[in-house]
Amino acid sequence: MFKKILIANRGEIACRVIKSARKMGIATVAVYSDADRNALHVKMADEAVHIGPAPANQSYIVIDRIMEAVRQTGAEAVHPGYGFLSENRKFAAALEAEGVVFIGPPSGAIEAMGDKITSKKIAQEAGVSTVPGYMGIIEDAEDAVKISQQVGYPVMIKASAGGGGKGMRIAWNDAEAREGFQSSKNEAAASFGDDRIFIEKFVTQPRHIEIQVLADTHGNTVYLHERECSIQRRNQKVIEEAPSPFLDAETRRAMGEQACALARAVGYASAGTVEFIVDGARNFYFLEMNTRLQVEHPVTELITGIDIVEQMIRVAAGKPLPFKQLDLKINGWAMESRLYAEDPYRGFLPSIGRLTRYRPPVEGETIGGGIVRNDTGVYEGGEISMYYDPMIAKLCTWAPTRDAAIEEMRLALDTFEVEGIGHNLPFVGAVMDHPRFVSGDISTAFIAEEYPDGFLGATLVPVLTRRIAAATAAMNRVAEIRRTRISGTLGNHERLVGDDWVVTLQGSEYTTRIDADREGSTVGFADGGALRVTSDWVPGQPLARLMVDGVPLVLKVGKIPSGFRIRARGADLKVHVRTPRQAELAKLMPEKLPPDTSRFLLCPMPGLIVNIAVNEGQEVQEGQALATVEAMKMENILRAERKGVVKKVSAKAGSSLKVDDIIMEFE
């Protein structure tokens, strides 16, 4: 076995690899850029080597820098993580040339699976089900129409070198095929400098389901079952689970065996993932093979009990896999939520900055008998920088059933405290409560279909708001009693805290009466019902863990005048708790609408105004560029949402603005 390995990556995956290496008694070397000097992976590793400036193209993906670090530390092997150099054939070759082991597949396999057309051909030859389509190069638009007719509409027209939705069109008829071919070709030429196009069947109700494979250098290849990764936002996976709620044993076995066949066909050794697209009738088609460790591998580890990183290292050291296909059973259900530093209330714009508070849920076994696992590369007081992937953590839960795993995830998300930056915790929290997600009836279009106008915060069901009302009524009583214990009160004339409280939240009003005793409070409602609330919460604690009628409830608690800001289950609520008289008077207060900002161009993110493209008094058309804001080294052009006349320009080039600062006003 190796004595020392280097991890050519950063963030949570570097930390993840270090953990397995440490468990195996292998020393670890981290590499870091200027921006990662204080990063968690650097603290965790036994040694760390600085490899250059913050931008990845000057540090993490510069092969020479990594090679230099390898030489300097004498690492015997390198784990590339995912992204960066993980699927770079030249990197694998460079390591090989110096006799350093690449903890990943042979470079031939990387190359074979690296190109969409080649990989599909190999897959077909290996007997893997592929999407019906035309593999050759398409000459012109008429050729494209003919092929589309053969494949059968709807078809997908795709750039061979494509990715991220670029150079991709869906056509439902001849005219669309003709037009789509031309625009895909143009886009492909512009984006990738490679205008080769292919056409394939467009799969409806598509699900993204992938098979984890493991192969060693002794001819053993196994599959670790599937992961369902259909919950995606613009091709970025957000929630993954294993197993899939959709597959039956037969389909699972067929997909697994085909994935292994493909791995064998390319002489695969290490961990890899074969991605399939599965339609509503459980027809599955090969998409691509990722020749690396996948971000979402923890869910597979949780249902199989296998440490995939450990196996990758062992395979790289020439060891055989210690299990056979028959040993690999599915145990329970695992969910993964990817926590991104993306503000869901602002169209998921990346949010950078300091984590003023970062308290993940406690890992390990839960009181409900489940498991919580959190793979992270950050810490409280650390910085989310503009240079890298905005992922904060991968929060996983395991439980015997899917429903229980979801419930564990809800609690874990509610317990997860992240402050200082915008993040998608509320969004994944909302998805976990979404009836369609809970039913398992999902597709890759889930987010686009269910949140067509973006995410505005979750609306909680009445059962839940009532529980929160009971909880906050009880909490408020504790806070009010503390207030009366202040020094300097008028003896014998102290304030007595009453039992009647009116709670308003999310547009509902609950009239409650609290009957408190030593252990907790029974909160009675006007309709005669009551909820029993117990908790060890004391004023000032940002997290309240409660039991409401025997069911756990976790709330993030902030203070607002006469009440609390409560965050839970993807909702961000203003909860007012008032005496009946206060509530009566509060009703007299006018509803204040948030100021109408449609007449203003507001700065969507903290940044620097590069230029203002219009003048006061100028008429602008919908879509016209108004100003450019530089944020995170990116120039963002702000455009007019509708036709109008510029009344006043408040910002000028060079000014540095905060979120929602006014840039200009329209008439």
Partner 1 sequence: MKDILQQLEDRRDEARLGGGQRRIDAQHAKGKLTARERVELLLDEGSFEEFDMFMAHRCTEFGMQADRPAGDGVVTGWGTVNGRMVYVFSQDFTVFGGSLSETHAQKICKIMDMAVQNGAPVIGINDSGGARIQEGVASLAGYAEVFQRNIMASGVVPQISLIMGPCAGGAVYSPAMTDFIFMVKDTSYMFVTGPDVVKTVTNEIVTAEELGGAGTHTKKSSVADGAYENDVEALAETRRLIDFLPLSNRDRAPVRPFFDDVARLEESLDTLIPDNPNQPYDMKELIGKIADEGDFFEIQKNFAANIITGFIRIEGQTVGVVANQPMVLAGCLDIDSSRKAARFVRFCDAFEIPILTLVDVPGFLPGTGQEYGGVIKHGAKLLFAFGEATVPKVTVITRKAYGGAYDVMSSKHLRGDFNYAWPTAEIAVMGAKGAVEILYRSELADREKIASRTADYEDRFANPFVAAEKGFIDEVIQPRSTRKRVARAFASLRSKKQTNPWKKHDNIPL
Indicate if 288 belongs to the active site: yes
Within 33-168, residue ranges assigned H as helices are 40-44, 63-73, 89-97, 107-114, 116-125, 141-151
Q: Which is nearer to partner 1, 434 or 574 (CB)?
A: 574
CB of 403 to partner 1, least distance (A): 36
Residues with Cβ within 8 Å of 12's Cβ and at least 6 positions away in sequence, in order, are 375, 376, 377, 378, 391, 393, 394
Report long-range pairs for 55-59 (Cβ below 8 Å, ≥24 apart). 55/387, 56/84, 56/387, 56/388, 58/33, 59/31, 59/33, 59/34
Among 561, 594, 595, 654, binds partner 1 (CB under 8 A): 561
Contact map string, positions 147 to 186, toward partner 1, x by CB under 8 A: ----------------------------------------
CA distance 54 to 150: 50
Q: Which stretch binds partner 1 (CB under 8 A): 216-224, 386-394, 575-583, 630-638?
A: 575-583
CA distance 94 to 76: 13
Chain CA centroid to CA 351, Å = 14
In the region spanning residues 357 to 386, those forming contacts with partner 1, defined by CB under 8 A, are 357-358, 379-383
- Which helix (DSSP H) or strand (DSSP E) does residue 502 occupy? strand 500-505
CB of 269 to partner 1, least distance (A): 42
Nearest to 532 by CA among 511, 512, 508: 512
Kindly tell me the sign of the dihedral angle through the C-alpha atoms of 308, 314, 320, 322. negative
In the region spanning residues 523 to 542, those forming contacts with partner 1, defined by CB under 8 A, are 538-542
Residues with Cβ within 8 Å of 665's Cβ and at least 6 positions away in sequence, in order, are 599, 600, 601, 646, 647, 648, 650
The helix/strand/coil state of 592 is coil
Contact map string, positions 466 to 495, toward partner 1, x by CB under 8 A: ----------------xxxxxxxxx--xxx
Residues with Cβ within 8 Å of 111's Cβ and at least 6 positions away in sequence, in order, are 89
CB of 354 to partner 1, least distance (A): 7
CA distance 73 to 31: 11
List the catalytic residue out of 87, 240, 288, 408: 288
Among 586, 634, 645, 653, binds partner 1 (CB under 8 A): 586
Q: Which stretch binds partner 1 (CB under 8 A): 4-12, 219-227, 355-363, 526-534?
A: 355-363
Contact map string, positions 410 to 449, toward partner 1, x by CB under 8 A: ----------x-----------------------------
Among 37, 90, 599, 643, binds partner 1 (CB under 8 A): 37
Q: Which is nearer to partner 1, 99 or 491 (CB)?
A: 491
CB of 356 to partner 1, least distance (A): 5
Q: What is the DSSP string of 601-628?
A: EE-SSSEEEEEE---TT-EE-TT-EEEE
Using CB under 8 A as the binding rule, whether residue 55 contacts partner 1 is answered as no
In the region spanning residues 396 to 415, those forming contacts with partner 1, defined by CB under 8 A, are none
In the region spanning residues 540 to 559, those forming contacts with partner 1, defined by CB under 8 A, are 540-542, 559
Q: Which is nearer to partner 1, 485 or 518 (CB)?
A: 485
Using CB under 8 A as the binding rule, whether residue 562 contacts partner 1 is answered as yes
Q: Which is nearer to partner 1, 448 or 586 (CB)?
A: 586
Q: Which is nearer to partner 1, 68 or 383 (CB)?
A: 383
In the region spanning residues 589 to 608, those forming contacts with partner 1, defined by CB under 8 A, are 589-590, 592
Among 151, 355, 384, 664, binds partner 1 (CB under 8 A): 355
What residues are paired with 544 via a beta bridge?
555
Q: Which stretch binds partner 1 (CB under 8 A): 254-262, 265-273, 339-347, 352-360?
A: 352-360
CA distance 126 to 109: 14
Chain CA centroid to CA 526, Å = 42
Residues with Cβ within 8 Å of 418's Cβ and at least 6 positions away in sequence, in order, are 339, 355, 357, 358, 392, 425
Could you say which DSSP state residue 295 is in?
A: T
CB of 386 to partner 1, least distance (A): 13
Residues with Cβ within 8 Å of 553's Cβ and at least 6 positions away in sequence, in order, are 414, 467, 468, 471, 545, 546, 547, 568
In the region spanning residues 96 to 155, those forming contacts with partner 1, defined by CB under 8 A, are none
**Site for partner 1 (CB under 8 A): how many residues?**
43
Q: Which is nearer to partner 1, 165 or 595 (CB)?
A: 595
Residues 163-179: b if buried by 16+ CB within 10 A, e if exposed: eeeebbbebeebebbbe
Binding region for partner 1 (CB under 8 A):
37-38, 354-358, 379-383, 420, 482-490, 493-495, 498, 538-542, 559, 561-562, 579, 581-582, 585-586, 588-590, 592
Q: Which residues are known catalytic residues? A: 288
